[in-house]
Amino acid sequence: MFRKSPNFFAPCFFARPLHLLALTLVCCLSFSVSNRLMAQQGAVYTMTNAVDGNEVAAFVRAGNGRLTSIGNFSTNGLGSTEFDGGEGLDPLISADSIIVSEDQRFLFAVNAGSDTVSSFRINRDFSLTLADTVDSGGVGPNSLAISGSRLFVSNIDRDGLALGEPGTTRGEPNDEGNVTGFWVSSSGQMRPISGSTIELDNRPANIGFSATGSRLIITSITAGSAALPGPNAANSVVVYGVNRRGRVSRMLGAATGTQVGNAEGRNLGSAIDFDTTVVGNREFVVVTEAREFNAEGAPPALPALQAGSVSVYELNRDGSLTSTVDDFAIGDPTASPFDGASQLTTCWIDFGRDGRTFFVSNAINASISSFRLRGDGTLRLLDEVAAQGVSGFSTGGTTGPEVFGTTDGFIDLDVSDDGRHLYQLEGLSGEISVYRVRGGRLNLIQTVGGLPDVDTQGIISVSTPRVAREILFIKFLALLKAKLFGILSRFGF
């Protein structure tokens, strides 16, 4: 007697070929659209962070990647130099202090000196029109994240009580910051979201959303500081849930990384920037670590700096984090910071167009390193020095604070939407370096000045409106591919 297989009429019998066909079509469509993002015009924006009046400096970006200044635009707020060591390099000790909306219609910038956030409309000629300025909900706003119409800002401290008197260097070992959210209207106006504030036990350095927009990720430079008593003060990375109404849930995941008092004497992570990427049906959080606080949680000191590093975590569906790479040191972590055997103060990161290749900047060395993320979440170093500016250690054996007077100070960086160019903000030279991207290699094609020599912060590139819409479509296709991979894996593929 003929007997049907028990699985003959199971859903997967029909679903497998349909899902495979859908996945093939999505991949082909994504490749077709992304290939059109070639040699597109756009703009690059950075922030002066001037204490007497913060401004956004705007540059038109030609198809070959080169920049031309089109002027500065007031934020109606003040910058600040009170939240770092006073050397003028990375004054907010943060990333994403200036960002754009997903459709690239609006630009947002923090004003750390007046505790406000400003929004701008991006005009067709890439000039800016101020739309709104609102209170940030704390002291010293330093990082921004947006998903849809939900905008979140992190503040260096909740109320300023731990920061000392204004006019002095305020922080950084005992800061306890917060994060709060705003609705952004169709005209760029901002209003607070009820139930969106997160009180932190340490100082935030960067915030960002997961690919789905349902998770808010926060890194901290002061994690493990001996001056912080809170129960979550040792967490370098934390994850919270955020619903569509902008309300924040409890903490879902956390990662500590290098432990306080570790036997190796390895400096603590001092996490700054991070970026997320989806590979197949897995999402990874790639974190840069400056390695400034020592193993016992004491504040940064130049002679005690160690090789910067990168760590990788998989962001699980429940919001928890699973480490796939812990402390991938860029150079020799046991070497003296002055012998050139390692890259120091690794602080900023951005992925290329493929979502696998990424670049990190090393501030004091004034260098950029390139990596590739494998599908299993492990890393391959492509080039320890993919680009080199004037290093603080290349001008005659400097071994003290005067290093900040000799380095270009590579801080925030950004890769253009088409993946062809990288823009590197030099925090101690008043310039932006423009590089052509070739896989993990970089070729310098322009250096443009006109910025303040010190205290600048943040950089972001944008594309023409048509390209911006295509970028949103590509992101949608990437999420759709991830969903399809997940379905196929449940059917045994």
pLDDT digits (tens, 9 = 90+) for 221-262: 999 999 898 999 999 999 999 999 999 999 999 999 999 999
Confidence of residue 159 (pLDDT cuts 50, 70, 90): confident
DSSP 303: G
**Which class is 156-454 in CATH?**
mainly beta
**d(C-alpha 449, C-alpha 353), whole Å:** 27
Mean pLDDT score, 412-432: 96
What rounded mean pLDDT belongs to the chain?
87
For the ranges 175-179, 222-226, 284-288, the one whose mean pLDDT is highest: 284-288
Q: Taking the model in full, what pTM does it have?
A: 0.86
Confidence of residue 399 (pLDDT cuts 50, 70, 90): low
User: What percentage of the chain's residues is helix, strand, coil (to nearest 5)?
Assistant: 10, 40, 45
pLDDT given for residue 68 in this prediction: 97
Which of 348-357, 367-376, 405-414 is predicted least confidently?
A: 405-414
Tokens 């199971």 belong to 10
Q: What is the DSSP string of 460-481?
A: EEEE-HHHHHHHHHHHHHHHHH
pLDDT tens-digit series, residues 297-332: 998 777 788 999 999 999 999 999 999 999 999 999
Q: Is 10 exposed, middle or buried (0-12, 13-18, 19+ CB in 10 A)?
A: exposed
Which of 33-47, 153-167, 219-233 is predicted least confidently?
A: 33-47
Domain borders along the chain are 10-37+467-493, 156-454
Q: Which of 306, 219, 226 is nearest to 261 (CA)?
A: 226
Mean pLDDT score, 149-156: 97
Mean pLDDT score, 358-385: 97
Mean pLDDT score, 25-45: 59
Decide if pLDDT at 167 tops 60. no
pLDDT given for residue 41 in this prediction: 85
- What is the end-to-end Cα distance of the chain in Å, rounded? 31
- Number of residues written out for the chain: 493
Half-sphere exposure for 23 (CA within 13 Å, toward CB): 18
Query: Crossing angle, helix 465-490 and helix 11-34, to 10 degrees?
Result: 160
pLDDT tens-digit series, residues 42-77: 999 999 999 999 999 999 999 999 999 999 999 999
pLDDT given for residue 39 in this prediction: 44
- Token readout for 410 is 């590579």
Confidence of residue 405 (pLDDT cuts 50, 70, 90): confident
Q: Is 464 exposed, middle or buried (0-12, 13-18, 19+ CB in 10 A)?
A: middle
- What does the buried/exposed string (b/e) look like for 285-301 if buried means 16 or more CB atoms within 10 Å of the residue's CB? bbbbbbbbbbbebbbbe
